[in-house]
Amino acid sequence: MKLAHVLIAALALAGRTASCQEDDEPDYGGEDGGEDYGGEDMGGDDDGSQNPPPSGAVDELTSVEQFEAFIDNADASVIGAFAAKEVKDPEAKLPEGWDADEDGEWEAPTIENPAVTSFNSITGSAYGYRFAVTYDPAVLAVLKQKSKSGLYFYRSPKFLSKEHGDRARERYPSDKLAADGVTNWLNAKAQPLVGQFSTTTQDRYKGATLVVFMNLDFEQNAKGVNYVLKRARKAAVGYKGKLSFAVASSSDMSYDLADYGLKSKSPKSEILIGIRADGKYYGAVDVAFSAATMTKFADDFLAGKLTEAVRLEPETPPAPDADDDMGGEEDGMGYEGDDAMKDEP
């Protein structure tokens, strides 16, 4: 009897312990070491398209509402617009021996519009871009299309800055679509002055790129995103042709941060800076974000004053009886800026 009571008590204690471990998780949050940008730690997923669309994936837009929803995205949009999906085969010939009186009036067979065929081949080879197609007269009217076919590129409205020269849309200069020509055109036009740097878009940045890692959530952290974009655009204007600027989600790109010698301590509130150039990485370690520190970091890079970062290796988990406090200084090599610099209002 006593043994039964002991077993029941042990099972109850085990269940209580498991429940406490599941519900009473420790708070790993920390104070932001950078300058306060007024953002809120609201959680939630980033409002953007982080996963690349499957190769060849194409949405068909059958209304203006669908068109507007498609281009309202964190990434760029590519739209093929055609007056008809199918056309009469221009190379078809009247069959030999055809008699109109006996066989009726001959009509050329219908084939897929050659322009649509070319467009479909491009969507299968241009990796990472978001494609859509439309034959809808109302959408064609919004596009102001006068010819039978056209290819349009829309920059993300979330990153668009007309004030700094960004154009909302571009049209491919030819009605004949060739894969190499279209791909080169997209790569040259894709990113605005300050765009999104992600696993999908990073290959579009061919030259040296300054990346600001942050809580890139347009819904939950709109104030913080606007804060960073405003300062990044202001700086980027002065570096055209020398250095590209972009922003990235510190949570989505957490693995890549180690390449810059950076460590994410508080993805919801921190702002980190790094530069990628010719396969090399440079990180602004322990530097508070501001327009001044960002500009100094860019200037030091162009002057060759920065030291290439050493990738941070994952920390070894502590032994079961190790102390809980595992904090310490980062040992990544990188840029040491002047933390005393303050941002302008």
287 and 238 in a common domain = yes
- The Cβ of residue 317 has, within 10 Å, a number of other Cβ atoms equal to 8
238 and 137 in a common domain = no
| Rg, the chain, Cα only | 28
Domain endpoint, select from 168, 192, 216 = 192
Work out how many domains the chain is built from and give that number.
Answer: 2
199 and 79 in a common domain = no
Specify if 99 maps to a domain.
Answer: no
253 and 128 in a common domain = no
Do 125 and 179 contact (CB within 8 A), yes or no? yes
Domain endpoint, select from 163, 192, 221 = 192
Specify if 276 maps to a domain.
Answer: yes
218 and 162 in a common domain = no
202 and 83 in a common domain = no
Give residues with Cβ within 8 angstroms of 139, minimum separation 6: 61, 62, 63, 64, 66, 67, 81
Give residues with Cβ within 8 angstroms of 283, minimum separation 6: 260, 261, 262, 272, 273, 274, 309, 332, 334, 335
Q: What is the pLDDT along the chain (345 residues), one digit of tens a residue?
A: 444 444 444 444 444 443 333 333 333 233 333 344 444 433 334 444 445 555 558 999 999 999 999 999 999 999 999 999 988 777 777 777 776 767 677 777 788 989 999 999 999 888 789 999 999 999 999 999 989 999 999 999 999 999 998 999 999 999 889 888 998 899 888 789 999 999 989 988 989 999 999 999 999 999 999 999 999 999 999 999 999 999 999 999 989 999 999 998 888 899 999 999 999 999 999 999 999 999 999 999 999 999 999 998 766 555 665 554 444 444 433 444 444 344 444
**Using a CB cutoff of 8 Å and minimum separation of 24, what contacts does 157-161 make?**
157/71, 157/72, 158/47, 158/48, 158/73, 158/74, 158/196, 158/218, 159/74, 159/192, 159/194, 159/195, 159/196, 159/229, 160/192, 161/192, 161/193, 161/194, 161/229, 161/233
CATH assignment at residue 85 = 3.40.30.10
Is this model's pTM higher than 0.75 or not? no
Domain endpoint, select from 192, 220, 237 = 192
Specify if 258 maps to a domain.
Answer: yes
Beta bridge partners of 195: 246
182 and 134 in a common domain = yes
177 and 285 in a common domain = no
205 and 188 in a common domain = no
Domain housing 184: 46-89+104-192
